[in-house]
Amino acid sequence: MEDLLPDLCDHFEELVQVVEPMFGNYGGREAFGGEIVTIKAFEDNSLVREQVAQPGEGKVLVVDGGGSLRRAMLGDMLAEKAQKNGWEGIIIYGCIRDVNAIGDLELGVQALGVHPMKTEKLGAGQLNVPVTFGGVTFRPGEYVYADNNGVLAAPRKLELPQA
| Domains of the chain with CATH codes | 25-151 (3.50.30.40)
**pTM for the model:** 0.97
**Which position has the higher pLDDT, 161 or 89?**
89
Annotated binding site: 75-78, 97-98
Annotated binding site for substrate: 75-78, 97
What band does 163 get if pLDDT is binned at 50, 70 and 90?
low
Across the range 113-121, mean pLDDT stands at 96
Query: How far is it, in rounded angstroms, from Cα 135 to Cα 35?
Result: 19
What band does 1 get if pLDDT is binned at 50, 70 and 90?
low
Tell me what pLDDT residue 144 has: 98
User: Residue 14's CB: how many other CB atoms inside 10 A?
Assistant: 4
Query: How far is it, in rounded angstroms, from Cα 15 to Cα 137?
Result: 13
Q: Is the pLDDT of residue 61 over 70?
A: yes
Is the alpha carbon torsion for 28, 32, 35, 39 positive or negative? positive
Chain-centre distance for alpha carbon 11:
23
* β-bridge partners, 112: none
Query: How far is it, in rounded angstroms, from Cα 104 to Cα 99?
Result: 9
User: Above pLDDT 70, what percent of the chain?
Assistant: 98
- Nearest CA among 65, 71, 126, 115 for reference residue 93: 65
Tell me what pLDDT residue 74 has: 98
Annotated binding site for Mg(2+): 98
Tell me what pLDDT residue 3 has: 86
Query: What is the average pLDDT value for the chain, to the nearest integer?
Result: 96
How confident is the model over 70-90, as pLDDT tens digits?
999 999 999 999 999 999 999
Contacts of 163 (CB under 8 A, 6+ apart): none
Decide: 129 and 139 in contact? Cβ < 8 Å.
Answer: no
Across the range 135-140, mean pLDDT stands at 98
